[in-house]
Structure 1
């Protein structure tokens, strides 16, 4: 069924979307299901179709005025893009002002600088409650140690009161922030404990930023700094200018990690059984595949050279998630690190444990070595503060 142009207005015209053949609601749903798109994409397509039909039902002169409003909206988007460019320039300016503070923070965390008494005063906080809680925790630890001594069980050594800096500062943040904790696997933890600092470098022309992850010398790779570069755009798209919502990341670039022999945590070896077609004999072969790891963050999917090319849905999903992580680290993690370490600045999603989900059985033609189950976040901060990095070579 095709839409009919309404009569009664000499200036009326049918928009391009109204000239196309339109499927009925049920036919549209069936068509979308056959196309293999996801449920959310199908709902979005049907919703857009309903909105288009609502607009098509309006009188031609009203549709004409709506087109005029769209023109005004386009001009609004052009002005808005200039506003965001000026905001980004301000961010670059203030990033230079933040830099000395962040450098001092890094020195305190690493133990290179010991703050004086005046720098340790927080007049807006009541420290008595925190000190009382600290004494209670210490007394509980002593009591627990005595119980374990009676049971002849080895007790975990307490943190050295003369320790330098703040041990496991960034590792504790990774444990506390759900987005980062989900990315960090058990085999990543010894490396994350060697993370000294995360820095942000802002760029004005073209606009973008680079995340720098600074590491102590460790047993896993020779790099001292791992980088992730994000390119941004702040201009309405020529084909869809009304979709402009401000600056957006459109591409990213990781870096090569120089892994030491046998220490690459992003690769795992699996065993696969192969059956000969004629003889029926079975042989076992091994192959290397990608393993879940935070350090896959530094090897994002390759972006096509043509900016107008269409990405596969799974690649697009990976890039979208990557952009969200990069933006979150820049906006929240680097600027509010101490509050994420103490738990004061955690979002509600970070502060709640995940519920267990039912496991589903699946069959596969391949026989692989058993892999450890996905890790769940448990008691985050206390455990994280007690563990010490054995693999880092403190400087």
Structure 2
């Protein structure tokens, strides 16, 4: 028998504490705005133009933008989604029931009025709310045609009476993270709220279902699920009876999301050209969600690796860069979601929403927050949502 002293194996590092619900709300809204803002700088550029402007790795950081960057209609509409939910919650907290989709429609109509489009005379009048006092939300930032035209009809679109019945643009999915941030409601209710709100402007099943699936990803993350677990959960809900009676999962949506999950697990990052070939450019709802989901999952750190706290150092391999820290993962995923020939602001906005909901504010780079347009407005809406949904 050896007389050498026994050594006790080193204990595995404790995982970081789960973020609070308030941190997840702030992280989701701010993270989406950061992705939106970085992507908006190159939204209409193809990958060759992006490389010509920013080098072979493309746009990686706000520091590369001499004049900074604005957020787009993606963040504007996400915040107006929050406001519509807030009004419904305020009515409920006062003991009065309200039609949530009607509250959202009225909120979107107030946004429409900021875009130089007359609000239809037939639409109900609604007094201005806190969100309407901020000039930054009144700038026209390349809003989607279907969002404008669907609201300009003056008709409250529904599943049974859709406006823009053939439109499946990404204007539904990019505004739908807030539905997943409301606690204490089940997955079926989250999906219905999100899909019904999508019907206000887009009638195609892929647009509604993509919005609903995205909201379910956020819902699962705020409940404590992991990134891959949340993606699998949300995909599974399409077959779990949450769709309207007689409605089937859109085959293009299923194909894109399954491809995103499969490719993310392949161990090799797609280059921007492959990304568009495999998942699409993101101009339509299912493609935008697929690209964002791929970017988040493909750059996720190895769960078997210990948590690291060293400052982020730029590395050529985004997977390696993401291998230990939430901020590094956020940077790597947003860079992947931005640099392609497509709807860069929407794909990066969705990716930022997902990671902010997962990690909370911890993942958000401080230097990026300093460059963000009107963070007080975003934080103001996040604080209001946290207060209305808190204990």
TM range (shorter): under 0.3
> Could you say which structure has the greater relative contact order, defined with CA pairs below 8 angstroms and 6 or more residues apart?
2
Q: Which structure has greater strand proportion?
A: 1
Which protein has the larger Cα radius of gyration, Structure 1 or Structure 2? 1
* TM-score normalized with structure 2 length: 0.26
